[in-house]
A and B are shown apart, each in its own frame.
Chain A
């Protein structure tokens, strides 16, 4: 506190401006104004922790995206092995009908808000395994809602990074505090 008396508080100014004046007059004090929602979305987008649901070939490219050259960690994307700690789920690779209930269950185990990235053609639509096939699920969007589709067979790590950036954009634009929460 400085030795001077604090300035008189004007009555006609909005209380938020008052708070800013008081804080700014403190030594070292300063204020950044923002919407709470923006702040929340910014922090959520900057620390996406995906559940790595590696199923097939795309899982190898997903691993490569976390390794030295591409280094997804620099975007705050840190792989999680359990759905309980995850914000989004990267389904990488072809999903069989035998595996489909497990994809669904792990998605249900993730806490809200949750997102799904479908990595690769197989997870997106069945890909090269669409025709004459009896065991592959034709797209994981039959069992879980998907936010971002990453095309490719398999997508390069750059493509996965682009997919995560798209998801960040989506999260930042979301009316997070005003959304309808599912029952």
Chain B
């Protein structure tokens, strides 16, 4: 007698400890195997694009912190301000460009640490979480000394940065960098050689290169699939054109490759910070821009490499003191769409491992 089987619909989220926010996944299962995954998003849609139309260019900096990806507040400010400065043809003094670069890379470290820690919890390794947050608190302390905020900094301004660095800050950053390289080795010892970890991530959730491009994957997810593209290299902004760093690219396209890309990116970020501090020029930190700046009519698409990928801001100005339309091209939004492609055919237990490896932030997905 033939055994009757049927597909099972499994609802995951929106309140789920492993969805990194309020993501709802409707997983169709055939036994243990995933037949289809339909992400349901919008549970954190904060109407940032609408709000930005009603606020001045300066006020929007604070909004970009909160409304977009909350783990990478400075990268959001950078993406938004790059578009503003392009439309307004606002020059940024060299010292401010270097300060921004240092801050952006510190932000990348702190964001990747949250990813590694939470992914560790998802995979059952709570120790990683504690280790990562230990280092992250150090970075947040550095941020707090320089910008006054832990998560939301509102540090960048049109045409520069808000304040110069406090005394001795660069020395503390360099001391932290030296220590942090050792910590990365520690994470490697903890995870990379761990057979349980490897069994859960190696070869799991493969995204081939052509599918990665077609599905719009970007950032570390695309680079793990062999797409050699980093906005910092391809379209250098701020001081990235003057600093030497490598872009890690792996061909496998599995969870382990995505893990290795981010681990290597952390080392490269440290390298960028060290160089930027060594080259940090003196001088102005902000060009003279009115507080209530009015931009000329025009539109621009500015792209930056946020820790999650290719963050773009498409800004339309109609000559007012507020933008006419802002479109935020969120990296997590595109990467989450590629998730459906990665999950098909794997087991239900791999859902968490694959989802965590993509490193989505729902505030970035929904905006």
Contacts and interface: CB of A to CB of B under 8 A. Distances in A.
Direct contact of A and B (CB under 8 A): yes
Interface stretch (B25-33, B41-49, B170-178, B234-242): B41-49
A56 B44 contact: yes
B43 A154 contact: no
Name A's interface SS: loop
Interface in B27-71: 42-47, 50-51, 53-55, 62-63, 66-67, 70-71
B50 to A, nearest CB: 6
Contacts of A57: 66, 70, 151-152, 363
Contacts of B140: 64
Nearest to B70: A57
B17 interface: yes
Contacts of B63: 128
B45 A135 contact: yes
A157 B157 CA distance: 27
Contacts of B114: 60, 63
Interface residues of B, number: 38
Interface in B292-326: none
B49 to A, nearest CB: 11
A96 interface: yes
Nearest to A68: B134
10 contacts: A57-B151, A61-B151, A63-B117, A68-B134, A94-B44, A96-B42, A128-B62, A128-B63, A132-B50, A135-B47
Interface of A: 52-57, 59-61, 63-64, 67-69, 81, 93-94, 96, 98-99, 102, 106, 128-129, 131-136, 153-154, 156
B46 A55 contact: no
Interface in B97-150: 114, 117-118, 129-130, 133-134, 136-137, 140, 150
B363 A56 contact: yes
A69 B70 contact: no
B179 to A, nearest CB: 15
